[in-house]
Amino acid sequence: MDFRYRGYWSWRSRETVSSPSQTAGRTVSSRFTAFAVCGADRGFALIVVLWTLVLIAFVVAHLTATGRTEIRIAGNLVSNAVAQAAADGAIFEATFYLSDPQPQQRWPVDGNTRELVVGNVRVMVRLEDEAWWINPNSASPGLLEASLRATGSDPENARRLANAIGEWVGSAPAPRPQNMLLAEYGAAGLDYGPPGAPLETLDELGRVLGITPAVLAAIRPHLTLFGPPEPSTATMDPFVAAAIAQAAQAAPAPQPPPDVLTTRITATAFGSRDARVIRSAVVRIGAALPLGYQVLAWSNPSNGS
């Protein structure tokens, strides 16, 4: 054989054939690289799993908190509904005892509070005579003026406001022409005038010319739309008593028949979960009425009469 060819094959053998140590080194390096890549993938997957678990935990915690809040709200609504039903039941019970045919069995209308238990709810009931307050729909101008003075208005302003109320409800002794009233209200920047009709709510007084929110807030607790033209001299309201005295109305005024009584029944119910509901009704009691009584108004006191 030619030595050139033998040298060639010898050179190729040295180039392609590796020693055992080189082969082992490359194997270890390949395995290490594969292990590193696999470990990185596993670490990333672990992070994804952990964040997923955190997200699921957050969602579960949020749903649990929301569910507890909804349950609490539902419980409060049920407690308020039960308390309101108990307050309404107490009003019906008071009406029943007020209309008892035996006078000695009737509950006295004295403004005192009595305690009832309706179901499992404690209810405080107070009975007041509507004749203890002033009815602006039918009160005389002198009484209206006296009531305004008793609640803080000066004499001149009280006289003017009493006349304005009389013109609004149509009870003014000397009513002025409607066009004159409209012009007066228009000069004050108002686009309406007195209707010349009884008030439907006490809040309507706030539309009367000159009646400011402060004046209305001062006089409103002493008014009613269900009382007689002249309040009773046995009133429990000191402001009304002072107005009667100022108006020289101490003599007994015309009153409803003795067998007819208009009573304000206020029931305050205390239920579970600190529920507290106040209900008020104005009931007219009389043997001449078809059912022996007539409900004139029924609402929450904050809603007005």
Q: How many domains does the chain have?
A: 2
Strands 293-299 and 276-286, sheet pairing: antiparallel
Is 134 in contact with 233 (CB distance < 8 Å)?
no
What does the pLDDT average to over 19-36? 51
User: Can you give the pLDDT at residue 256?
Assistant: 52
Digit-coded pLDDT (tens) for 32-63: 555 555 555 666 777 877 788 888 887 888 77
Confidence of residue 260 (pLDDT cuts 50, 70, 90): confident
pLDDT, averaged across the chain: 84
Asked if pLDDT for residue 276 goes beyond 80, the answer is: yes
User: Can you give the pLDDT at residue 136?
Assistant: 97
Q: Which residues make beta-bridge pairs with 279?
A: 267
Here the tokens at position 227 are: 């009382």
Residue 152 lies in a domain: yes
Q: Worst-scoring range by mean pLDDT, 159-163, 258-262, 285-289?
A: 258-262
User: Can you give the pLDDT at residue 5?
Assistant: 46
Digit-coded pLDDT (tens) for 186-230: 999 999 999 999 999 999 999 999 999 999 999 999 999 999 998
Same-domain pairing of 193 and 265:
no
Q: Worst-scoring range by mean pLDDT, 26-40, 125-139, 268-282?
A: 26-40
Confidence of residue 255 (pLDDT cuts 50, 70, 90): low
Residue 211 lies in a domain: yes
Residue 54 lies in a domain: yes
Here the tokens at position 260 are: 């007819």
Residue 116 lies in a domain: yes
Same-domain pairing of 230 and 216:
no
Residue 246 lies in a domain: no
Same-domain pairing of 229 and 113:
yes
pLDDT above 70: percentage of residues in the chain: 80
User: Can you give the pLDDT at residue 251?
Assistant: 47
What does the pLDDT average to over 105-124? 94
User: Can you give the pLDDT at residue 1?
Assistant: 47
Residue 6 lies in a domain: no
User: Can you give the pLDDT at residue 239?
Assistant: 94
User: 249 or 70, which is more confident?
Assistant: 70
CATH number of the domain within which 163 lies:
1.10.40.60
What does the pLDDT average to over 75-83? 91
Asked if pLDDT for residue 252 goes beyond 60, the answer is: no
Here the tokens at position 241 are: 């008593």
Is 235 in contact with 245 (CB distance < 8 Å)?
no
Would you give the DSSP letter of residue 276? Answer: E
Asked if pLDDT for residue 30 goes beyond 60, the answer is: no
List all residues 6 or more positions away from 255 whose beta carbon is below 8 Å from its beta carbon.
Answer: 131, 228, 230, 232
Digit-coded pLDDT (tens) for 126-136: 999 999 999 99
Same-domain pairing of 99 and 230:
yes
Same-domain pairing of 172 and 289:
no
What does the pLDDT average to over 279-296? 91
Same-domain pairing of 232 and 294:
yes
What does the pLDDT average to over 78-93? 94
Task: Name which of 265, 289, 286, 290 is nearest 99 in CA terms.
Answer: 286
Write down the residue that tokens 């696999």 correspond to.
38
Same-domain pairing of 85 and 189:
no
Q: Worst-scoring range by mean pLDDT, 9-23, 65-79, 273-287?
A: 9-23
| Residue 13 C-alpha from the chain's centroid | 100
Asked if pLDDT for residue 17 goes beyond 50, the answer is: no
- Within the chain, residue ranges assigned H as helices are 3-16, 20-98, 141-150, 155-169, 178-187, 213-219, 238-246
Domain interval for residue 272: 20-135+224-236+254-305
Same-domain pairing of 24 and 125:
yes
Residue 33: which region, alpha, beta or left (left: phi > 0; alpha: psi -120 to 50)? alpha
Confidence of residue 248 (pLDDT cuts 50, 70, 90): low
Cα pseudo-dihedral 132, 134, 137, 142, rounded to 10 = 140
Same-domain pairing of 197 and 150:
yes
